[in-house]
Chain A
Amino acid sequence: DTEVTQTPKHLVMGMTNKKSLKCEQHMGHRAMYWYKQKAKKPPELMFVYSYEKLSINESVPSRFSPECPNSSLLNLHLHALQPEDSALYLCASSQGKGTANTGELFFGEGSRLTVL
């Protein structure tokens, strides 16, 4: 299984709603990532989890709250978002550190978020 699965594929929410994006992988990867991508722009790194610990937060506003319940799951909790947060949210995983690590990122298909 070389897939990263993201749910939901599409999400529409109001600015006062609380919702979550979910990501799952069963490749035994120990690093997981959240990226945000606006139209016609490159993916922007938001968060990195390494061995279930948050290792990088790219100064993301607190209305985005990541969570890594275990090595296979990654969540992104959303609260009080703004319309400009509308984007494609991509989850990725990689092996993590180690001699066999190629650094290759495996991406999910993304969750398309619209904030009204």
Chain B
Amino acid sequence: LAKTTQPISMDSYEGQEVNITCSHNNIATNDYITWYQQFPSQGPRFIIQGYKTKVTNEVASLFIPADRKSSTLSLPRVSLSDTAVYYCLVGDLNNAGNMLTFGGGTRLMVKP
């Protein structure tokens, strides 16, 4: 299983762009990268998923370099409600058990 490493915590201010990087040096050919957001006392919520280059949705962008050994979740113009823990997961979509291990996560604090 590809192990992921993220910063433990990050601080930002409202209106800023936040970039959270995840390192996954032993990512396999069939592995995808998925990011989740979790608020206190709630279950994690899917944010974005990608395989290579750039993926964008209404919430975030995901940048994946050519070697795929890392990925960066970009949150544009954060607000106080973006304060949460962000988890990066790596695994094969069709291999039960492979995309299910959460790493330590990054605790993002957005300040006024």
Contact = CB atoms under 8 A, between A and B. Distances in A.
A42 B93 contact: no
A105 B100 contact: yes
A101 B44 CA distance: 19
A42 B103 contact: yes
Interface string B69-98: 000000000000000000100010110110
Interface in B31-70: 32, 34, 36, 41-46, 49
Nearest to B32: A103
Interface residues of B, number: 23
B7 interface: no
B97 A103 contact: no
A33 B45 contact: no
Contacts of B94: 97-98, 101, 103
Contacts of B46: 104-106
A56 interface: yes
A112 B40 CA distance: 12
What bracket does the count of chain A residues touching chain B fall in? 20 to 34
Given A42-B102, A42-B105, A43-B102, A107 B45 contact: yes
Contacts of B36: 105
B29 to A, nearest CB: 16
Contact of A45 (B42, B93, B100, B104): B100
A110 B49 contact: no
A106 B42 CA distance: 12
Nearest to A58: B97
Given A103-B94, A110-B42, 13 more contacts: A31-B96, A42-B87, A48-B97, A48-B100, A55-B96, A92-B43, A97-B94, A102-B49, A103-B32, A104-B34, A105-B36, A105-B100, A110-B41
Please provide the 9 A-B residue pairs with the shortest distance between their CB atoms, ordered closest to farther: A107-B43, A42-B102, A103-B93, A103-B99, A104-B46, A56-B97, A90-B43, A97-B94, A43-B102
